[in-house]
Amino acid sequence: MNAKAKKASGPRRSVCPVAGTLDIVGDKWSLLIVRDMRAGKRTYGEFAASPEGIPTNILADRLRRLEEAGIIAREAYQEHPTRYAYVLTEKGGDLGEVLRAFVRWGKKHIPGSQTRAEIAAAEKNA
């Protein structure tokens, strides 16, 4: 664990619920993993294959932190070697409202934004 990861999972900065939430998911990657899980992705390899290209060391760190925070849970789906599938907990599923707010803001204010459903529809019509 590097110093940055340790700090990120350290004590909360204040009683503010915004600060407390940012203590857990206030980085560029954690909510993308939650997004991927809501889209049905479950494995390390599936998360690593997302278009943003998360570095594998960051992916491993974020999965560990999200599990420690009770946002995701993992279960072994294969042995020798052991491989894990990740699922959102109820606490993690409740981040859906946060993600929907991000989608709306991004679609309104970031030109060229396209959701997964929009990309799929465009491919179907091509």
Q: Where does this chain bind a second copy (CB under 8 A)?
A: 8, 12-24, 26-29, 31-32, 35, 50-53, 91, 94-95, 97-110, 112-116, 119
Q: Burial of 25 by CB count in 10 Å (0-12 exposed, 13-18 middle, 19+ buried)? A: buried
Beta carbon nearer to a second copy, 16 or 78: 16
C-alpha 57 chain-centroid distance: 15
Beta carbon nearer to a second copy, 64 or 107: 107
Q: Burial of 64 by CB count in 10 Å (0-12 exposed, 13-18 middle, 19+ buried)? A: middle
Least separation in angstroms between residue 116's CB and a second copy is 7
Beta carbon nearer to a second copy, 46 or 84: 46
